[in-house]
């Protein structure tokens, strides 16, 4: 795996956290591993900005690959898989039509759940109106 081993870079950073007396630790090894691992997709390249949530999600998935054995990431329930045990959310997706018909429930596990900021703002306004709060 070498230079593209995100898991190895994380192990190195955690060892530094444990033994280093420095106040700030350089992320260079992890940044380099991310850049190498995602070179073909042109993601997480050194010196360039990228999405932090997507980076976090990819780091969790790489850890899963190393310790989750062969379980698929969307259904992993292995007790030793730290990303799924600590960050995994069990979700059920189901479509409901205005006529009342529903689709079959689709259960899955997700590490990071993306929510529209506009949808959150609208729901906030609805809840404030319903419960009479202004803050």
Give how many domains the chain has, as a whole number: 1
Let me know if residue 122 belongs to a domain: yes
Angle between helix 28-37 and helix 6-19 axes, rounded to 10 deg: 170
N residues, the chain: 135
Q: What are the φ and ψ backbone dihedral angles of 124, each rounded to 5 degrees?
A: -60, -45
Residue range 62-119, pLDDT digits in tens: 888 888 766 676 778 788 888 988 998 888 999 999 999 999 999 888 888 888 999 9
Residue 124 is assigned to a structural domain of this protein: yes
Q: Is the pTM of this model over 0.85?
A: no
Domain membership flag for residue 4: no
Q: What is the DSSP string of 43-111?
A: -S-TTS---HHHHHHHHHHHHHHHHSTT--TTT---TT-HHHHHH-EEEEE--B-TTS-BPPPEEEEES
Q: Is residue 85 part of a domain?
A: yes
pLDDT for the residue 1: 52
Domain residue limits at 79:
73-134
Q: In sequence order, what are the residues at sequence separation of 6 or more whose Cβ sits closer than 8 angstroms to the Cβ of residue 92?
A: 105, 106, 107, 108
**Pair 75, 109: CB distance under 8 Å:** yes
Position 65 in a domain = no
Residue 30 lies in a domain: no
């Amino acid at each position: 795996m070498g230079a593209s081993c995100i898991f190895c870079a994380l192990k190195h950073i955690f060892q530094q956290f444990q033994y280093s007396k420095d106040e700030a630790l350089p992320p260079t090894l992890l940044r380099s591993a991310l850049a190498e691992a995602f070179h073909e997709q042109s993601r997480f390249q050194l010196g360039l900005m990228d999405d932090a949530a997507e980076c976090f999600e990819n780091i969790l998935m790489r850890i899963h690959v190393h310790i989750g054995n062969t379980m698929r990431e969307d259904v992993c329930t292995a007790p030793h898989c730290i990303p799924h045990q600590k960050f995994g959310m069990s979700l059920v997706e189901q479509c409901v039509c205005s006529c009342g018909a529903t689709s079959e429930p689709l259960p899955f596990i997700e590490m990071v759940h993306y929510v529209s900021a506009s949808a959150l703002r609208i729901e906030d306004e609805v809840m404030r109106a319903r419960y009479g709060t202004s803050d």
